[in-house]
Structure 1
Amino acid sequence: MITNLDVTLRDGGYRNNFEFPLDYAIRHAKESAAAGMEWIEIGYRNGSFKPMPDIGITGLGADDYIRAIADVVAPERLCMILHPKNITEDDLPRMYEAGIRLVRFCLPSGAPGPGLAMLSQAADLGFSTTVNITRVSQLPRRRLAELAAMSGDAGADVVYLADSNGSLLPHEVSELVTLVRSVTDAAIGLHAHNNLGLALSNAIAAVDAGATWIDSSVLGMGKGPGNLVTEQWVAYLARHGRGQGYDLGRILSLAHGMEAEFEEAVPSLPLPDLILGHFDLSVEERSKLPTHWIGDAFSAARELKAAGAR
């Protein structure tokens, strides 16, 4: 059984500064749930890792925003992601009261303790929980295994491998899923980015290796070149005989409407993002690449990679 999670309203927010109008966010969440997506991630709580000026409603995840969506979509379908450094002790109880039932923790690999403590608090409050281990392509295997084991021991229901740089290859995804499965009884998830055009192949590899939770976004709308494309993934599941319960036609209608409403949602693979994926560099390095000629950007990225390896 695969659990599918729609991250459009959150990860897609990197394309439009999280400025989805409330009426659209409500409509999107309602249609996504009606199409069969088990969970809809409706935004960040209190912002992304790096502060963003004038961030929109899906980047703040305020209580009244949660309640507005929970009025039309069952709380048992609503989730939110957060960075532990942005959260106070009051946030989790307020999120639960407002209507969130799954909370996702982005776990910093260098200092996971505070996030794991918050995860235990969330479980005590009645939340289902995931730990998203970010930039797994850059983590030593031993450290990934340690973080996954600690997350499971802290009570995480799901340990997510986040290919934040969009640089993993299918056989690497399979190896990482197998590794994490060997150290925790938690379910395993994949959050794919599409820098190399491999998000779909990586999701297939992850499921074949035993992952059971998959993130995707409508039209692939997400940070950089975006995420696994929901409509492609659901079409694959249907062709593979695993798509029962999902309404592909409804998802396609949602994608068509979103494309017409938001210019930023139009699928694209900018060449600089492909370069970042090739060299396993984060999207934050994009500003360091020359913009006047792609060959110069490629050379600059190669130098950044070499400098990081030293």
Structure 2
Amino acid sequence: MSIVNIDVTLRDGGYRNGFAFPLAYARKHAKLSVEAGFDWVEIAYRKGSFAPIPDLGLTGRGDDDYITAMAQEIGPERVAMILHPKNITRDDLPAMYAAGARLVRIILPAKGYETGLEYVRQAKDLGFTVGVNFARISQWPARDVVEVATAATDAGAEFVYLADSNGSLSPVDTTDLTTLTRSVTGRAVGLHAHNNLGLALANAISAVAAGATWMDSSIQGMGKGPGNLIAEQWLAHLDRTDPEAAARLSLAPLLELADLLLANIPEGRPSLPLPDLVLGRYDLSVEHRKDLLGGHGKAIATARVLAGVQ
């Protein structure tokens, strides 16, 4: 089973540094990422993340000239973008394609996803490799997964990503969601794991065992909160266990990339903010972090109330 790997460091890692990666660093990062064997480098959001962020940096904006610079560095066939439908207009996808992006992921909510489907159709018509992301999948009822996944693939999505935005999934949860999504769509399924509970690698292994064929990871796990699936661990695991993957991977440039990140991006160092562990335990989103103030005991008590735990 061939795994398609996406490096999401420049995008998801932006939550740690205001998306303020210098262009020179981003180009070096992407070049080494491709040498390591990543199929795609997700270089940015297009016009911002879910919530507005002041002074949004390069990899949070995804401007056309930035896309072009990255496509010149690694080739358009490696340049991926992600977006929230509420942030764009119908002019954005043609501009992104012309600038050099060739894969786009469209984030769909469980309710009110119809506008996103229009962008799925538009992206498909333009020639993008196009998929959808289901954010905060740990909070989705199974009926919503079935409904939105079916609608998205009917609209032309080639793959469906299960995004564990809260870092709350267990390997059993991941297996069940992957199996359900594959069964109702017949399309490829991917996992975007967060590491709030230290389960990102276990969840990735479980997802692949259940038939997932797309996987996100980031260098040093750099991403929102405690971060994502750690690319160095994930690709080393594939190199050891998957002969087909091993033939396409190269660990030396991967480790060189980790050194480059740590030497140039202070926020790239692994971190486990304790409030994010609590958020993961109670399946709460990052927007609730501000509520978990006043000491650990109070934070846990507040989290239990927010989660409706008796």
- TM-score where L is the length of structure 1: 0.97
Number of the residue aligned with 1:127: 128
2:295 alignment partner AA: W
> RMSD in angstroms over aligned alpha carbons?
1.1
Measured in 2, the distance between the counterparts of 1:254 and 1:288 equals: 36
- Structure 1 ranges of 4+ moved more than 3 A: none
Measured in 2, the distance between the counterparts of 1:208 and 1:302 equals: 33
Q: Displacement, 1:261?
A: 1.3
Q: Displacement, 1:273?
A: 0.6
Measured in 2, the distance between the counterparts of 1:210 and 1:302 equals: 34
Unaligned runs of 5+ in 2: none
1:24 alignment partner AA: Y
Measured in 1, the distance between the counterparts of 2:258 and 2:292 equals: 32
1:305 alignment partner AA: A
Matching of residues 192-207 of structure 1 within 5 Å: 192-207=193-208
Measured in 2, the distance between the counterparts of 1:270 and 1:49 equals: 21
**Equivalent position SS for 2:74:** coil
Number of the residue aligned with 1:296: 298
Matching of residues 62-211 of structure 1 within 5 Å: 62-211=63-212
Q: Displacement, 1:132?
A: 0.1
1:252 alignment partner AA: L
**Equivalent position SS for 1:20:** coil
- TM-score where L is the length of structure 2: 0.97
Larger deviation, residues 233-242 vs 31-40: 233-242
Number of the residue aligned with 1:33: 34
**Equivalent position SS for 1:71:** helix
The one of 242, 251, 254 aligned to 2:254? 251
Number of the residue aligned with 1:284: 287
Measured in 2, the distance between the counterparts of 1:187 and 1:94 equals: 27
**What is the percent sequence identity of the aligned residues?**
59
Measured in 2, the distance between the counterparts of 1:249 and 1:170 equals: 29
Aligned residues between the structures: 307
Measured in 2, the distance between the counterparts of 1:39 and 1:262 equals: 21
Number of the residue aligned with 1:274: 277
Number of the residue aligned with 1:224: 225
Measured in 2, the distance between the counterparts of 1:264 and 1:196 equals: 20
Q: Displacement, 1:244?
A: 2.3
Number of the residue aligned with 2:239: 238
Unaligned runs of 5+ in 1: none
Q: Displacement, 1:136?
A: 0.8
1:103-134 CA-to-partner distances (Å, cap 9, x unmatched) read 10010111110001111000000000010011
